[in-house]
Chains A and B, each alone.
Chain A
Amino acid sequence: MEFIRTGVEVDVASSVGEGPDLIVQRLVGGRQAQIPAAWIENVSATDGVRVATPRVWGYAEAGAGRLITIMGVNATDYGNVFGAVGTSILAGGRFIEEGDTRKMVVGQGIVDMMAASGSSLLIDVGSTLSLIAYNGSLIEFQVVGIFTSESRIYSYDLILTDLTSAGAVLGTDNISYTDIAVWVELGSNVNSVALQMDTSISEARILTKGAMGTMMLRTYGDRAGIVALLWATVLLVVVLLAFSASSAGSDEYRREVGLLKALGFDTVDVLEIRMFEAITLGLLGASLGISSAIVYDFVLNAPLVAGYMLGWNLVLLNGGIPLAISLPTVFTVFAVALVPIMVATVLPSWRNAITEPDVVLRGV
């Protein structure tokens, strides 16, 4: 669960990191509505705005319950902003250019989807791919690039094209847009720019990266709170198990300490032996646990757990659940494994070691 939770956080961070500093949406009656072209000028005129570019986007079904994202952007604006849509295009491809029509850059998920469908058509640069438009017609596109991205949530199943082509697929006109992506000047305060826009443009909803990250985390990671409860439970179980196995109430352990003292081992020697034993067992246990978790998550895709953690949002993740192994998580696992076991092992051993061997051996 920690790997999934960390994976979601890392993926969300990548998604947000890859995108614009601000997103301007229009709300009418509490619902998102198309943005008129006139807004672009107002947004661009706001102090601190470097680039304000319109976007048209929506979802299309790709069969078998899968959704893909279709996004139309201004090729020049987007192409000029570093890291706008993913870290790089795969070798042999390119981003869309000014003047391109019916050209697309696709995420790796689109390629994987076609490959998995058993179709003889394998997506590559230069391939022709048809999309079903809003009215049922087929629109042909040519693939000019394939994304490689650190974010499976964001661009894995993304199709990026020009504004007009996206509008043709999604059924929008050419004079309104889904939202406006904004990048601020270096050194400008994003929140100040957002506030300016919010106060000067009525019906506007301004999303900052922080807000976007929070929303995405809520969407994909809301149930991670259960992890804290599980940690507490696991910790308690570990302590109880270790204590019951090694406590003075365990005859075998107790007699062992008494015997070692009778044979001439000092109290310090006994504690060293017990500590070494506890550390070895703790490290082995933690390593086994982490290895099992890696197999369960990365190889088996965390059956049951992923569904619980991500809920219906799992359906939206065509690229599989995001997973990440963070050093703090690994460190925490080892600490949880080692510290309680050492305390539960060494303390009873110390108690027995300072007691007379005869008393310990006989269990009096």
Chain B
Amino acid sequence: MQGVSVEIEKGRVTAIGGPSGSGKTTLLSLIGLLTRPTKGKILYDDKDLSSVSEVYRTRVRRNRIGFIFQAQYLIPQLTAIENVALPKLCMDVPRSEAERQAAERLVALGMSHRLGFRVAELSGGEQQRVSIARSLMNSPDVLIADEPGASMDEDLTAELLSALRGMVDEHGLTVIVASHDQKVLDWADKRLNMRDGKIVT
């Protein structure tokens, strides 16, 4: 990253475009507190989180940030419902309650018939839906999505974008999405382009 200075508006969708290797995922990792910058600050509501303790950053991730990873990062030994329930379990919510809420999320994404299937038994699109459901489990303020439309067909992508738009409009969710998909980039309220670690537009 070189001299990147970006302001993400609350309750809006910000898309980051650019070729592979331009630094999109790194920027998302910095915003999502998955890594620390070597220089500079990351401000959430004017509080600098770049230098606070890892324990504090973990708590922020737990309570305020949802992730849709490009590689999904689902735990293969767990079922769909167990994967989605994970964020609730780290908040000491009883397992039965966590799985009940997870089931609701998955049903809303059309996965009612696949709740008990292990990850390896799910198609790419189904795995992506599980990843999306998991990212929304803790009702985050900020949703960070890295190529959310990957592995999904056009209809499903449109469905996802529509659902996210609903959450943005109704609940003030802030969405930051990195994508190659022009439809996703066009759907956003604000668009940034990156090249070689810099914001070019």
Contact = CB atoms under 8 A, between A and B. Distances in A.
B34 interface: yes
Interface of B: 29, 32, 34-36, 54-55, 58-59, 61-63, 67, 69, 71, 73, 75-76, 86-87, 90-91, 134, 138
A314 interface: no
A256 B119 CA distance: 14
Given A255-B73, A269-B90, A361-B73, A262 B61 contact: yes
A259 B75 contact: yes
A262 B67 contact: yes
Interface of A: 252, 255-256, 258-267, 269, 354, 356-359, 361
Contact of B87 (A256, A264, A267, A358): A264
B62 to A, nearest CB: 2
A110 B175 CA distance: 86
A356 to B, nearest CB: 5
A258 B75 CA distance: 11
Contact of A262 (B34, B54, B75, B91): B34
Given A269-B90, A361-B73, A264 B34 contact: no
A357 B90 contact: no
Contacts of A358: 29, 34-35
9 A-B pairs with the lowest CB-CB distances in the bound complex, closest first? A264-B62, A358-B35, A358-B34, A358-B29, A265-B90, A357-B34, A259-B73, A356-B35, A264-B90
Contacts of A359: 35
A259 B71 CA distance: 11
A67 to B, nearest CB: 57
Given A269-B90, A359-B35, A256 B59 contact: no
A119 B73 CA distance: 71
B58 A361 contact: no
Contacts of A356: 34-36
B77 to A, nearest CB: 9
Given A259-B75, A356-B36, A359-B35, A266 B63 contact: no
Nearest to A256: B75
Contacts of B59: 264
Given A262-B32, A263-B87, 15 more contacts: A252-B76, A260-B90, A262-B34, A262-B67, A263-B61, A263-B67, A263-B90, A264-B58, A264-B63, A265-B58, A266-B55, A267-B55, A267-B58, A356-B34, A357-B35
